Structure 1
Amino acid sequence: MEDVIRILKQYSPIVNTHMVDYFTKNSYEDSVPPEIKGEIDKLGYDKAVDYILNKEYSENVPNLNNFIETVLKFTLRNRIDICLNVDQLKQNFADLGCKNVSGLHLNVFMKPKKSHEVEILSEIAASLKTYGNTSHLVDIGDGKGYLSSLLSLHYKIPVLGIDAAEINTVGAIKRVEKLGKYWHGIVGTNKSMLAKSETKYENAYNLLYKQITQYITEKTDLKELVRNIFVEEISCIGIVGLHTCGNLAPASLKIYVNNEDVKMLCNISCCYHLLSEKSYDNDSESNTGFPMSQFLLGKQFYLGRNARMLSAHSTDRIFNKKELPNRNIFYRAVLEVFLSEYFPDLDTKEVGRFRGCKIEFGVYARKALKRKKSDGFEGVKLNLGCMQGKL
C-alpha cells in the first residue's frame, strides 16, 4: 500500500489531468516529468504511443522504460496477491466448502458485455449465498434487474431489488416479466439444465424476485425491508450489486460491516468519480465514500476526482484494442480553448457526450454550442473559422 501511495503521489499531476483541459492547462508540458517528455520528443509522439501500447522496451528511452515497468507492476492483473482470476476464486470457494453451482450464459435481452458480467457475478453470488447460509439476497442499485433476474429464475434465490429511481424499478419489472414468459424456451435448449428444475418458470419471477423504489443509506434496515415484502421466514440476508454507483458501494460495505443480519456481500462498484472524497479541511465531514480505509485516513490520502474517473477505465481493453481515445475527446479539448478564450464567464462549460458514429469537428462544434444556447447562454455564436484554426 505504501508503494501504491508513493507512485500515485509521484504521478498525481498526470492521473488528475482531464483531457478537456489538455490544451487550456498545458497538461503535457506541465504534468509529464521532463526526463520522460524529452525521450518522447526524441522518439516521436506516434512511435511513443505504439511503444507504450505494445509494452516495448528500448535502451534509448530508459526513463520511459522505467515508467512503463513501474506502473504495470501495480495494475490489478499483475497483483495476483490481491486479485484472483475466476478459476482461482472458484477454487477458493471450493476450499471454503461453498456449494458448486452451475452457471448459465444468458445472451437474450442484454448486450454481450452485460451478459458476460451477469453470468460470472450471479454464479459467484449464488456460491457465496450457500457459504453465508442466507435465505434472501438484496440487490442494491438493482437498475434493470439483470443480476436479480438470473439469481431468481436460474438459481431460485429470493431477491429484493432496490433502486432509487422509479423508472428503473418499472423497467426491471417489465424486463423480468418478459424474461419469465420466455424462460422455458431459453433454458429448454439445455436439457441437463431443464432436468434439474421442476419449477414453473413463468411463475418463478412473481414469487422470488420483488422490486421496490427506495434510496439506500448506511442506516437502511435491509432485513426489515425484506421482511415487509416476502412472506416466508427470513434468517439472514446477503447483499449483491452490479455497477453500484458512487456512494452506494461504500454504503453497502458499511451496512455489511455494521449489521449482524447481513452475512454475505458480493458487490461490483462503478462511477468512482461520483464518490464523495474526504478533503481533510473539514473536521465535521465524516460521511464520505472514500477513503474508508483507516490506513489511508491516517495518511490523509487524497486521490482526486479525475484520478477516480480514470480508475474506472479498462486498461485491459486499451492494451487489447490498442486504440487511442475517441476523437471527440480531442474535439472537446479544442472547444474548451475556444470557450475559455471567448466566453470565460460561462458558469459551466459542460456540453455532455455525443454518442454514435464519428463526426467532423464542425458538426461536433455546432451541436455543442447549440446545447450551450439551450442552457440560456445566447452569447455563444459559431465561428468555425476561428475554431478550425485551433486544430
Structure 2
Amino acid sequence: MDALLILGGLLLIFAGAVWLVVLAFGTSLLWGVGVMLPPITLAYVVRHWHTARKAAGLSALGFIPLVVGLSLLANHDPDRVAAIFSLEWLNAGAQVEQPLLAELKGELDGRPFNPRVGRLINGVLTLREGDDLFARQEVNISLGSVASGALRVDVLPQDPAPIPEVEISWLGLDQELPEARRIRKGYTLHLDLLPVPPNKLAGDFHLVLPAHYQTTLSGRVELYTDELRYRGDQLDLSHDSADTLRYVIRDYLQRRFKTRAVEVESVSTVSFPAQEAAVAVKAKVDGAPAQFDLDLRKQDAGWAVELDDYAALPPPAPPVATTAPEKTKPSQPQGGVSRVDRRQRFSLARLLREPEKYERLLMRAQTKRGNVAQGRFIGIDREGNLSIEHFLKGAGQATYNLVPSDIVRLELLEP
C-alpha cells in the first residue's frame, strides 16, 4: 500500500510538471524553455497564475499521497526511508547486505520485527534489523558448540537447564543505547536447519518468549555461517570482513611459499569500511611458525596483497586410477600385524602433500570453534579444503568441507 501511494504521488507530480511545461510553451517559446529551471518555474506560476493554476494544483495534489506513503513506510521500515533520503542508492559501489529473512515475521517487545540479516557464527544465532552500530531490534540465541552440517534444536517451556540463552534488544525512538533482556527458561524454540552451500544454513525457525516479553518469531530463515560472501559460485573479495582478509592472506601465502599447508592463526584488527589496511599476521607454513607485515588494498576485483605477483598453485593431482588388486593375502610379519601403520607419521601437512595415500580412511578433525567431524576422507577440493564423508544413522550421508587453517587437531583412526 505504501509503495502504491508513493508511486501514485510521484506520477501526479510528474504529470503536473509536464502539463505546466506545455502551458508555458503555449505562452511563449522563452517561457517554455525557461520553465524547466526551478526559479523560472516559480516565476511563471506567479506571473501567469490564471493559466498555470490547474497544472500547479495537480502537482501539489501529488504531494498528499507521497507524504502519506512515506509516513506509512517510515512506520514499519524506517531504515529504508533513511536510505532513500541519504541517497545511498546512488552509490553503485556501496556494499549492501542482501536480505536473507524475507519469510520470517513476528514481533519483538510488541513491535513488528522484520530482520534482514541472520548469522550463526561461533555458536551464536543472530537475527538483526538495522545496519547501525546498535541494531534497531535484535535477537541473539547462544547455542554453544555447534557441529557442522544439519542443526535441529527443540526447547519447551518446562525443559530444565541447561538450555540456550535468549537475548532480545531494541532501540527506542529517543534512546541512544538499546534496552536488553535475557531469557534463560520458560520459552519455546524450534530450529530445523540444513546446510546450503557454500556458507549458509536454511530451514524452519520458531520462537515464542513468555507472554510479558511480547515476542514471537516464526517462518523460514537463512543464516550465514561465516563472514564470507559469494556472487554465484565465486567468492566476493570486495566484501569488507575479517574472514575475507584471512582468505586473501592465506591464498597469498600459499602461492608465495608454493604449498597448501598454510594456517593463518591471527590477523590484526581492521576497522571497516576501508580501502586499505596494514596488518600483522601470524601463520604456520608447513608447520613452521612465521610472522608477516602485509599491506592490503581494495582494488576493482576486491581485496589483494600489494605487490602480489606470485603465480597460482597447480590444482591438486587427481587420484591415480589403479587396477583391482589380486585377491591375495598381504604379506605380514609374525603375529599378523601389518608392517605399515600410517597413523604413526600422520599429520595435516603430510595429508595435504599426499592426499591419495589416505583416501577412504577413517579420520577425525576438530576445528577452532570446537566442532568435530568424523568420517571417511574423500580428497581435497579445488579450494584446498579437506572433504570428509559421514554416513548418517538413517538413509543418506553428509560431507564436511574443512579449511585446513581452521583445523586444530586431525587424527587418523585406522592404519
TM tier relative to shorter chain: under 0.3
Greater fraction helix = 1
Greater Rg, structure 1 or structure 2? 2
Which structure carries more relative contact order (alpha carbon 8 Å, separation 6+)?
1
**TM-score (norm: length of structure 1):** 0.25
